[in-house]
Amino acid sequence: MTSPSPTTPALSPIIVLRVFMPFALGYFLSYTYRTVNAVIAPDLVAELGLNADVLGLLTSAYFLSFAAFQLPLGILLDHYGPRRVEAALLLFAALGAWLFAIAENIPALIVARGLIGFGVSACLMASFKAYVMWFPKEKLPLINGFQLMAGGLGALVATQPVEALLTITDWRGVFLLLGGVTVFSALMIFFVVPDGKHKHVDAKFIDAVKGVGEVFSSPLFWRVAPITVMSQATFLSTQSLWTGPWMRDVAGMGRDDVAFALLLIAASMVFGFLFWGMAAERLGKKYKIRPLSVGLVGMTLFSLIQGIIIMAPTDMAVEAWMAFGFLGTSGILSYAALSQSFPHHLAGRVNTGINLLAFVMAFAGQWLTGVIINMFSSNALGYAPEGYAWAFAALLLLQVLTLIWYAIYRKGGETQHL
């Protein structure tokens, strides 16, 4: 069987159930793992006595291991297919969750958190690869938007529902439960997702590496990557950890109020993922507006809302962070735009290439945010508001520079078809 052509008229409900739903569950869990530390951070700090820099390093270990596996992941996805690769990796995520639950010191927690990041490293890219194989080209922005919405639901569950679960068990019990659900997800992907449209590619490893080189030597890739990477890195590194502590230390919220605010932000993310995918599809179909153009509008507005947050309008803190959650999802449109601009066999390596850069920067951003915050005085109740302002301003400056980069080089014409 061959991949569907761009003119495929309709989506089969059976394929939606057998392809979309299992991969959506995997990405749901990936985002739950990614963001749960924003809620359990007070428990980790209280039990282990963590400073801001150590908390940032511990949480960002997820991003580092996630990023480290992106290039080999792209080769594996193109070589063996998304079903086998993601199902196997999710078992490592489950192991990491269980190790995190029983860890007794900071090094063990960092190793376990890194193993989780490695285990969920395929959850988005494998789904994107599968959707390229199974769904019509013109439906990819929409189906990718639904996939990302599933991730937003995972972030939503990692807020007030986890806070409620903590009244029954502790953070260790939460991770034991997550590990069990992750094993179930791996089994769903392996046994439910059809594999008929992927043919094993018996190519030499050196040829696969050359494919990576082809992606990273493309001027088109480097025109689009910087702004996408910085926007996504800022969104990921901040939303998955520092939003909760900011609410406590800058806006002066109690723990229950913080959990509810994080729930609202996650709901905004869910709506954002759905909105940007639908907007890109509709505007492209009706007005021939490129997906990347839609994403650039969102990423520019995302930078503006960060400036408002830095000025700390605490009377509108929740509304500002909800806008952060909604606009931060817009950068993902660049993934679909870029993957469609390269040969089909490079789709996995294009997406994992840009994901590699985004997650390396997310690791650096999350850790260095903690380092900067730790430079200012703190007390038993929390960290200094000035530290957040300086850390967030540094991330915003980098985004502005990448916007300028894109504005300068877009005149060359390389991105006109995106």
Q: How far apart are CA 378 and CA 375, in angstroms?
A: 9
Structure confidence at residue 73 as a pLDDT band (50, 70, 90): confident
Q: How far apart are CA 268 and CA 248, in angstroms?
A: 20
Q: What angle do the packed helices 70-80 and 205-216 form, to 10 degrees?
A: 120
Residue in the structure block whose two tokens are 């199902």:
87
Q: How far apart are CA 230 and CA 363, in angstroms?
A: 12
Residue 309 has pLDDT above 60, yes or no: yes
Residue 1 has pLDDT above 50, yes or no: no
Structure confidence at residue 266 as a pLDDT band (50, 70, 90): very high
Residue 145 has which token pair?
């938007």
pTM of the predicted model, to two decimals?
A: 0.87
Summarised one tens digit per residue, pLDDT across range 389-407 is 999 999 999 999 999 998 8
List, in order, residues 6 or more apart from 1 with CB less than 8 Å away: 196, 197
Summarised one tens digit per residue, pLDDT across range 27-49 is 999 999 999 999 999 999 889 88
299 or 146, greater pLDDT: 299
CATH superfamily of 14-194+202-409: MFS general substrate transporter like domains (1.20.1250.20)
State the greatest distance between any 2 C-alpha atoms of the chain, in Å, as a whole number: 63
Q: How far apart are CA 117 and CA 61, in angstroms?
A: 7
Per-residue pLDDT, 12? 74
Stretch 125-150: mean pLDDT? 82
Residue ranges of the domains in the chain? 14-194+202-409
Residue 58 has which token pair?
């511990």
- CA distances from residue 382 to 21, 241, 254, 319, 405 in whole angstroms, order as listed: 40, 14, 12, 22, 37
Structure confidence at residue 249 as a pLDDT band (50, 70, 90): very high
List, in order, residues 6 or more apart from 364 with CB less than 8 Å away: 60, 233
Residue 112 has which token pair?
């376990």
Q: How far apart are CA 381 and CA 364, in angstroms?
A: 26
Residue 412 has pLDDT above 80, yes or no: no
Per-residue pLDDT, 100? 97
Task: Report the percentage of the chain scoring pLDDT > 90.
Answer: 61
Per-residue pLDDT, 8? 42
- CA distances from residue 207 to 66, 69, 85, 132, 395 in whole angstroms, order as listed: 24, 18, 20, 21, 37
Task: Report the percentage of the chain scoring pLDDT > 70.
Answer: 91
Q: Which residues pair with 379 in a beta bridge?
A: 382
- Under DSSP, the state recorded for 5 is P
Q: Which residues pair with 382 in a beta bridge?
A: 379
Q: Are 122 and 73 in contact (CB under 8 A)?
A: yes
